[in-house]
C-alpha cells in the first residue's frame, strides 16, 4: 500500500499541520513561542516527577505522551512496530543528555527554534544557524564512517518499555491532576507560575499529541534529518516539510496576533547571540550523531526502537542535570555553568564522533 504521508506532498502536509497546531496550542494556553517544544516539554516532565525542582518548569506534558502513544498506534496499525535495540545504548544516552544541555542553553529544540522564528523572535535565527552548523559537523563524521553499530531484534516487551512509562505518566496525571494554585498533587509536581504553569487543557494537549504522533510516524518527519539530508545528499524531501512548518506557523501566528518581531523581550528567550548559536550547535551535533531530532526519537520509540527510548531518557535525565547543576539558561541569561557545559558537551561529542568511525561488517 502506498504511504501517502511519506510522499513529498504528504510530508509537507504534516509540516503544515504541526505549524498550525503549535500556535493554536499556544493560543489555548501553552507558553509563548512554545506551542510544542520537545526539549522544553521533556524538561517539564522531569520537573513533574521531581528529578529537578525548578519551580517554574514542572508539568507532565500530555503532548509528549501523545507523540509516543500516537506513533505506537500508527506503527501497530500499519504493521511497522519492530522491537529493536542494542546500537550503542550508553552512547545514545550521553548524546541525549548533551542534546538537552545544548537545547536548554538556547532554550528550545529545533521545533521550538522554528516556532520562535515564526513568532518573530530574531534570536531564533542564531539558534537555527547553530543547528545547521552542528548538523554540518555531524555530517562530516557520517562521511568519514561514523556509526553507532547495528541494533538487534528483541522482545515486544522491550519495545513497549518507554510507551508503558508514558502510559504510566498519563495515568498518574489522571489520578493526580493539576489543581489551580497547588504546586503538588500526590506524586506529581506542578508549576503555579512560569512556563510550567502555562498549558492548554489536558485533553486538548493529549489529542493534538496523539494526532501529531500518528502523522509524524507515517511521514517520518524529522527536523534534524531535514538539514542533514540536504547537507549530505542535497535531498529536499524532509527540508520542505520543515520549511512548511515555519511558513504555516508564521501565517497562523499573524492570524492569531501572536507575531511580535524583535530580539528583546521575547517569551522564554535570551539575547546572548553567541550562546544561542553555540547551544543549538551542540544540540544539532548530538541529534545528528544520534540519528534523529528529539521529535523523531519519540516517534521511533513508538515504532519499538529501544535505542531511541534510551536517547529520550538521556534527554529527560539531562534536563534534570541542567536545572540541578545550573546549566540551563533563563530569560535572564545563561546558567552559572552553562558555558562550561557547552564546552564539555562539544568535547564529548567530538570524542564520540572521532572514535566511533569503524566500518561495520
Residues of the shown chain interacting with other proteins in the complex, contacts defined by CB under 8 A: 3, 6, 78, 80, 82, 84, 87, 142-143, 147-153, 220, 222, 225, 228-229, 232-233, 235, 237, 291-292, 303, 307, 360
Residue placing its CB nearer to other proteins in the complex, 42 or 307 = 307
Phi and psi at residue 69, in whole multiples of 5°?
-70, -40
Residue placing its CB nearer to other proteins in the complex, 23 or 83 = 83
Residue placing its CB nearer to other proteins in the complex, 310 or 342 = 310
325: burial class by Cβ within 10 Å (0-12, 13-18, 19+)? middle
DSSP characters over 62-103: HHHHHHHHHHHHHHHHTT----EE-SSHHHHHHHHHHHHHHH
Q: What is the SS3 assignment for 55?
A: coil
Q: Least distance in Å: CB of 291 to other proteins?
A: 4
Q: Cell numbers for 151, please give them.
A: 541494533
Q: Least distance in Å: CB of 301 to other proteins?
A: 13
Q: Least distance in Å: CB of 284 to other proteins?
A: 15
Q: Least distance in Å: CB of 310 to other proteins?
A: 12
In 10 A of CB 123, how many CB atoms? 24
Residues 6+ apart with CB under 8 A from 160: 83, 304
Q: Least distance in Å: CB of 361 to other proteins?
A: 9
Q: What is the SS3 assignment for 188?
A: strand
DSSP characters over 255-289: HHT----BSTT-TT----HHHHHHHHHHHHHHHHH
Residue placing its CB nearer to other proteins in the complex, 84 or 323 = 84
List, in sequence order, every beta strand (DSSP E) within the chain. Answer: 84-85, 152-153, 184-185, 188-189
Residue placing its CB nearer to other proteins in the complex, 111 or 190 = 111
Residue placing its CB nearer to other proteins in the complex, 26 or 219 = 219
Q: Least distance in Å: CB of 149 to other proteins?
A: 8
Residue placing its CB nearer to other proteins in the complex, 80 or 326 = 80
Q: Least distance in Å: CB of 150 to other proteins?
A: 3
Amino acid at each position: 500500500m502506498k504511504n501517502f504521508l511519506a510522499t513529498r506532498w504528504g510530508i509537507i502536509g504534516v509540516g503544515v499541520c504541526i505549524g498550525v497546531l503549535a500556535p493554536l496550542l499556544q493560543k489555548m494556553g501553552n507558553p509563548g513561542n512554545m506551542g510544542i517544544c520537545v526539549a522544553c516539554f521533556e524538561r517539564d516532565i522531569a520537573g513533574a516527577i521531581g528529578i529537578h525542582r525548578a519551580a517554574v518548569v514542572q508539568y507532565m506534558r500530555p503532548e509528549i505522551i501523545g507523540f509516543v502513544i500516537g506513533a505506537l498506534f500508527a506503527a501497530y496499525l500499519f504493521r511497522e512496530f519492530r522491537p529493536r535495540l542494542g546500537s550503542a545504548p550508553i552512547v545514545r544516552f550521553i548524546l541525549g543528555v548533551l542534546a538537552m544541555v545544548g537545547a536548554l542553553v538556547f532554550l528550545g529544540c529545533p521545533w521550538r527554534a522554528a516556532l520562535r522564528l515564526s513568532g518573530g523572535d530574531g534570536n531564533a535565527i542564531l539558534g537555527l544557524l547553530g543547528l545547521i552548523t552542528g548538523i554540518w559537523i555531524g555530517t562530516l563524521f557520517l562521511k568519514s564512517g561514523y556509526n553507532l553499530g547495528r541494533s538487534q531484534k528483541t522482545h515486544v516487551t522491550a519495545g513497549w518499555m518507554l510507551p508503558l512509562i508514558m502510559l504510566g505518566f498519563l495515568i498518574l496525571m489522571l489520578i493526580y491532576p493539576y489543581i489551580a494554585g497547588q504546586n503538588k498533587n500526590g506524586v506529581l509536581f506542578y508549576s503555579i507560575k512560569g512556563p510550567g504553569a502555562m498549558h492548554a487543557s489536558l485533553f486538548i494537549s493529549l489529542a493534538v499529541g496523539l494526532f501529531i504522533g500518528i502523522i509524524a510516524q507515517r511521514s517520518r518527519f524529522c527536523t534534524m534529518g531535514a538539514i542533514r539530508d540536504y547537507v549530505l545528499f542535497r535531498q529536499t524531501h524532509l527540508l520542505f516539510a520543515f520549511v512548511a512548518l515555519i511558513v504555516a506557523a508564521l501565517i497562523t501566528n499573524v492570524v492569531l496576533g501572536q507575531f511580535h518581531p524583535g530580539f528583546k523581550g521575547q517569551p522564554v528567550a535570551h539575547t546572548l547571540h553567541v550562546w544561542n548559536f553555540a547551544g543549538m550547535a551542540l544540540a544539532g551535533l548530538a541529534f545528528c550523531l544520534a540519528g534523529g531530532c528529539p521529535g523523531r526519537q519519540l516517534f521511533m520509540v513508538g515504532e519499538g526502537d529501544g535505542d531511541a527510548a534510551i536517547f529520550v531518557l538521556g534527554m529527560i535525565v539531562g534536563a534534570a542535570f541542567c536545572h540541578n547543576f545550573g546549566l540551563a539558561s533563563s530569560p535572564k541569561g545563561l546558567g552559572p555553568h552553562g558555558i562550561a557545559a557547552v564546552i564539555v558537551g562539544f568535547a564529548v561529542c567530538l570524542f564520540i564522533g572521532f572514535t566511533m568511525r569503524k566500518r561495520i561488517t
